[in-house]
Each structure stands twice: as structure tokens, then as C-alpha cells.
Structure 1
């Protein structure tokens, strides 16, 4: 076994999303990895003390998680609140947990300003999205952890088959 997988708590059925819901990912690999003890579950936002439910947040001005990490962009709530520091703390918490538990891979919910790894929303709360990473996904990638979105689970299965 090549390593553990950090996984978004909402994908594991935990009701931790901003709207108080979960988004369970039903896939045979999830059950197998759970049985093998490979999954390490985290909601980065909750680890940083954010409540559920909470106002929706997006990375402002069409920027990306990399921009937030570099100090060039902010994460804003629809109410106008700046939650950048919370999202930075969330990313640091996720990276610390990944390192502590030996996670070489991450399976994260797409679209989130924290966990998005294929797309994120544009910051206008219009429903428009663009390619990019959330803050946690960007930090994990910078640290050398392979990040996959929930829609890429079959790619992760293939990657782990070649790594074992």
C-alpha cells in the first residue's frame, strides 16, 4: 500500500458544507479504501473553526487559490465578509494533517473555494465557474500531494494501481 488519501469530509457523507449538507461520493473504491484504513477525512473549513451552515464564500475577482496563497486575492462571503485568513488556516490544517498521517494523495470536492481542484466559482456569486484550485487544493499541490477532484476518482484508482 503506497499511502493514505486525504478526503473531503462532505464526500464521506458528513453534513459539513456551507449549506449544512453533504455530497457523498458513492464509489466501490471508497468502500475498499475505508476498509484498508487509507482514508483520512477532513473538512478544512471546519478545522479552522468555521460554522455550519455559513454564508457561501468564493475567491474574489476570478482569482485562484494560488493567488490567495500569494497574498494577491481574498476569499469573500456573499455577505461581504472577508474570510481569507480562515481559508488560509484551513489549508494549513489540511496540509498538517496530510503530513502527519502520510497522505500522498487527496480526493477533494470540486467547486469549493477550499477544495476545488478542477474548477472554482468566479467570485461574483453568479454560478459562473472557471478552471482553478481552491486554497487547500493549491497548498496541497505546492507541497507535492497529488490532488484529485471527486469527478476524477477513476483516475485516482488507476494512479494507485500503478503505484502499488
Structure 2
């Protein structure tokens, strides 16, 4: 993938459905980049395991990092709230890592203190 990457959204699903093979991540031009997103998420998970990371703060709305909402795959700015979680966020949560958005710093801080207590 290029850096910066082209706009991408999860089409008809969430990060969990991408991991389960039920949805794809698609660039605005129509290219399917699902494998790239799964590969990137796997690298992040391995780094979390290597460094014993238990809590992650990720960027909300991203098809990779969204923790409470992502866009709906139509490239129209419509949100997919509730079930809308990005690929990396979903993979980390599946492996017991607590995921927060950049808007949930206070909650992440509480989780850090609860973990270290």
C-alpha cells in the first residue's frame, strides 16, 4: 500500500466480518485491499504480544483502527456506529487487548491504572 494510503472503507461489514472472511476493505477506486489490512493488523498484534501491550489507543473512524465506529463503505461520510470496528481494533480485542479511541483518553487512563493495580 502507498503511504499515505488511498481512502478505504469496509464494504458491508465491520473489522470482525473482515477477519471472518465475510467482508472486504475497498479503496475508493474499487481496489480490494483486505489482505493488506489483515496483514497490517497481524503485525500490530505481534508487536503488542512482543512488548506485552494490554491497552491500545487507536484513531476513531479508520477502517483499521476505529474502535466504536467506522464509515459504512459507501464513501459518502455515513457512519456505521455500534458494530463499526476496524480490522486492527477487532483483532486486538479478540486477543484480549483493550482498545480505546483518541477521544477516550480518560477511560484508557483508568484502564491502565486498573491493570497496574
What interval of TM-score do these two structures reach, taking the shorter chain for normalisation? over 0.9
In 2: Cα distance, 1:152 partner to 1:54 partner? 25
**1:120 to partner: Cα distance:** 0.2
Q: Among 105, 108, 111, which residue is 1:156 paired with?
A: 108
4+ runs of 1 displaced by more than 3 Å? Answer: none
**1:163 to partner: Cα distance:** 2.6
**Aligned residues between the structures:** 114
In 2: Cα distance, 1:157 partner to 1:53 partner? 30
**1:160 to partner: Cα distance:** 1.6
Taking the TM superposition and a 5 Å limit, the aligned residue runs for 1:112-131 are 112-131=62-81
**1:158 to partner: Cα distance:** 1.4
In 2: Cα distance, 1:54 partner to 1:133 partner? 19
Structure 2, unaligned runs of 5 or more: none
The RMSD of aligned alpha carbons is: 0.9
Question: Could you say which structure has the larger radius of gyration?
Answer: 1
Structure 1, unaligned runs of 5 or more: 1-49
In 2: Cα distance, 1:94 partner to 1:64 partner? 18
TM-score by length of 1: 0.67
What SS does the corresponding residue of 1:151 show, helix, strand or coil?
coil
2:34 is the counterpart of 1:90:
no
**1:76 to partner: Cα distance:** 0.1
Taking the TM superposition and a 5 Å limit, the aligned residue runs for 1:5-154 are 50-61=1-12, 63-131=13-81, 132-154=84-106
